[in-house]
Amino acid sequence: MQQEIGRFHTLEVLEIGAHSAILDGGQWGRLPLERRQCPEVLEVGDQLEVFAYLEAEGRPAITTLKPAAQVGEVAWLEVVEINNLGAFVDWGLPKDLFVPFGEQQHPLKKGGHTLVKVYVDNQGRLAGSTRIDHWINDSSNNFKQGQRVSLMVAERTELGFKAIINHECWGLLYSNELYRRVKKGQVMEGFILRIRDDGKIDLSVNQPGYSKAKLDDISTKILARLEENDGFLALTDKSPPREIYAVFGVSKKVFKQAIGALYKQRIIALESDGIRIV
**Calpha distance 116→131 (Å, rounded):** 8
**Calpha distance 148→145 (Å, rounded):** 9
Would you state the torsion angle of the CA atoms of residues 227, 228, 232, 236, taken in this order, to the nearest 10 degrees? -100
CB-CB contact of 71 with 118 (8 Å): yes
Domains of the chain in start order, with CATH, are 8-63 (2.40.50.140), 74-134 (2.40.50.140), 148-204 (2.40.50.140), 212-277 (1.10.10.10)
- 258, 194, 198: which is closest to 222 by C-alpha? 258
Q: Using CB atoms within 10 A of its CB, is residue 10 exposed (0-12), middle (13-18) or buried (19+)?
A: exposed
**Calpha distance 60→124 (Å, rounded):** 11
**DSSP 8-class letter at 16:** E
H/E run at residue 61: strand 60-63
Can you give the pLDDT of all 278 residues of the chain as single tens digits?
567 899 999 999 999 998 999 999 999 999 999 999 999 899 999 999 999 998 877 789 999 999 999 999 999 999 999 999 999 999 999 889 999 999 999 999 999 999 999 999 988 889 999 999 999 999 888 899 989 999 999 999 998 999 999 999 999 998 876 767 889 999 999 999 999 988 899 998 877 765 566 677 888 889 998 989 889 999 988 888 888 888 887 778 888 888 888 888 888 899 889 999 88
Dmax over CA atoms of the chain, in Å, equals 78
Instruction: For the chain, state the CA radius of gyration.
Output: 25
**Calpha distance 164→119 (Å, rounded):** 16
Q: Give this prediction's pTM.
A: 0.74
C-alpha triplet 130, 135, 138: angle, nearest 5°? 115
Buried b (16+ CB within 10 A) or exposed e, 245-262: beebebbbbbbbbbbebb
